Amino acid sequence: MPALTLPRFKAAAVQAAPVYLDTDKTIAKACDLVREAARNGATLVAFPEVFVPGYPYWNWILNPVEGSAWFEKLYRASIEVPGAETDALCRVARETGCNVVIGVNERASHRMGAIYNTLLLIDSSGKLVSRHRKLVPTWAEKLTWTGGDGSSLRVHQTDVGPVGMLACGENTNTLARFSLLAQGELVHIASYISLPVAPPDYDMADAIRLRAAAHSFEGKIFTIVSCSTISDEIIMAMETAHPKARELLSRESSAFSGIIGPDGRTIGEPLIDREGIVYADIDLGRCIQPKQMHDIIGHYNRFDVFDLRLNRRAQTALSVSGDDSTTKGDGAEPAGGDAWISLTSPKGAYDA
């Protein structure tokens, strides 16, 4: 039997702002950034949380009634998965041979008014492999997003190794992170947004770095951190709704993008606040030796003491039994589908 070989590749973490609430232009920008990263040798490109078409900053500076009109703008600009926008991203992944992870606002196809904070994984052949919906929107985000479920809490085999992904505050969820590690994750994508609206003594950039370092060090894996920036365009849009928007959204040290090794240390120089792309050469063989000391999914655990269970059942709005209908709704979807309705009939059960 030949000796074990593990992938070596170049990863790219994008730190950028979307073309705010403009879906088509943001998709075009994302495609251009994938091409740029590919020209520099990257075969894995990570984008920020809800990069398409942007983050609902109004939740933090307006009251819920004032923000409702902005919610509608975001809903109208959100995308369905799959759809024309994901097709464009799949084409650029296939064209460049890059694996792409990107955050989008996903409009539920059967639930008017429901938006998911979704991470998409597209492999280097241009196949939409997975969509992961953020399990729990954080704090004020509950005014915008519907929570996901465990159906998409998966690690996916790609040509750059086993990849898992979580959005922003999910990276503080120890059990969610452990569930990915236990499935063999070696490359973790942590997607974030820049959020200057925080307590005065809170350093958002350092908090992002700390969470990534903790996951890498605990799991002995690589973490690719991609965070958005707040453009002047975003601030000016919010100034139309709140007179102190610029003051609230301009604090420094609010965005961190970088690549963390299995020892918990940052590889190369990260990006703080400014737009750009961070690159690093990754050798998954570096994950082997650290696991001899602490392998929390293997010898350094007590599974006779601890028992973690993952519910992968898609959560549905309605379960119907005894229906002979053969119509399956809007057809096949990627893993972790819309889970709009579960029908149980003599022909079996399915999610439409």
Residue range 302-318, pLDDT digits in tens: 999 999 999 999 988 88
Task: Give the model's confidence band at 337: pLDDT under 50 very low, under 70 low, under 90 confident, else very high.
Answer: very low
Angle of helix 174-182 versus helix 204-219 axis, rounded to 10: 40
211 plus 102 within the same structural domain: yes
pLDDT score for 188: 98
Residues 29, 134, 170, 227: which is the catalytic one? 134
| Measured distance CA(31)–CA(185) in Å, rounded | 26
Round the average pLDDT of the chain to a whole number and report it: 92
Indicate whether 305 belongs to any domain. no
239 plus 337 within the same structural domain: no
| 252 part of the active site | no
| Measured distance CA(335)–CA(121) in Å, rounded | 11
Q: Which of 286, 264, 277 is nearest to 42 (CA)?
A: 277
As a three-state string, the secondary structure of 115-136 is: EEEEEEEECCCCCEEEEEECCC
> At CA 348, angle to CA 343 and CA 352, rounded to 5?
35
Indicate whether 41 belongs to any domain. yes
Q: How many residues does the chain have?
A: 352
The shares of helix, strand and coil residues in the chain, as percent rounded to the nearest 5, are 30, 25, 45
Task: Give the model's confidence band at 326: pLDDT under 50 very low, under 70 low, under 90 confident, else very high.
Answer: low
Indicate whether 114 belongs to any domain. yes
pLDDT score for 324: 66
pLDDT score for 153: 98
Indicate whether 136 belongs to any domain. yes
Average confidence (pLDDT) over 51-68: 98
245 plus 325 within the same structural domain: no
45 plus 141 within the same structural domain: yes
pLDDT of residue 320 exceeding 70: yes
238 plus 332 within the same structural domain: no
216 plus 348 within the same structural domain: no
Average confidence (pLDDT) over 192-206: 94
Which segments of 88-240 are extended strands (E)? 99-107, 115-122, 128-133, 156-158, 161-167, 187-192, 222-227
| 98 part of the active site | no
Number of compact structural domains in the chain: 2
Average confidence (pLDDT) over 26-47: 98
pLDDT score for 156: 98
Look up the domain containing 99 and give its range. Answer: 8-293
Indicate whether 301 belongs to any domain. no
Task: Give the model's confidence band at 348: pLDDT under 50 very low, under 70 low, under 90 confident, else very high.
Answer: very low
**276: phi > 0 → left, psi -120 to 50 → alpha, else beta; which?**
left
133 plus 275 within the same structural domain: yes
pLDDT score for 266: 98
191 plus 247 within the same structural domain: yes
Indicate whether 146 belongs to any domain. yes
340 plus 211 within the same structural domain: no
pLDDT digits (tens, 9 = 90+) for 125-178: 999 999 999 999 999 999 999 999 999 999 999 999 999 999 999 999 999 999
pLDDT digits (tens, 9 = 90+) for 91-138: 999 999 999 999 999 999 878 999 999 999 999 999 999 999 999 999
Indicate whether 144 belongs to any domain. yes
| 247 part of the active site | no
pLDDT of residue 331 exceeding 70: no
Average confidence (pLDDT) over 289-306: 97
pLDDT of residue 345 exceeding 70: no
318 plus 245 within the same structural domain: no
Indicate whether 3 belongs to any domain. no
pLDDT of residue 340 exceeding 50: no
27 plus 162 within the same structural domain: yes
Residues 31, 49, 185, 287: which is the catalytic one? 49
pLDDT of residue 342 exceeding 70: no
% of the chain with per-residue pLDDT over 90: 86
pLDDT score for 187: 98
pLDDT score for 325: 57
317 plus 280 within the same structural domain: no
CATH number of the domain at 71, please. Answer: 3.60.110.10
Residues 31, 90, 168, 227: which is the catalytic one? 168
pLDDT score for 152: 96
pLDDT score for 37: 98
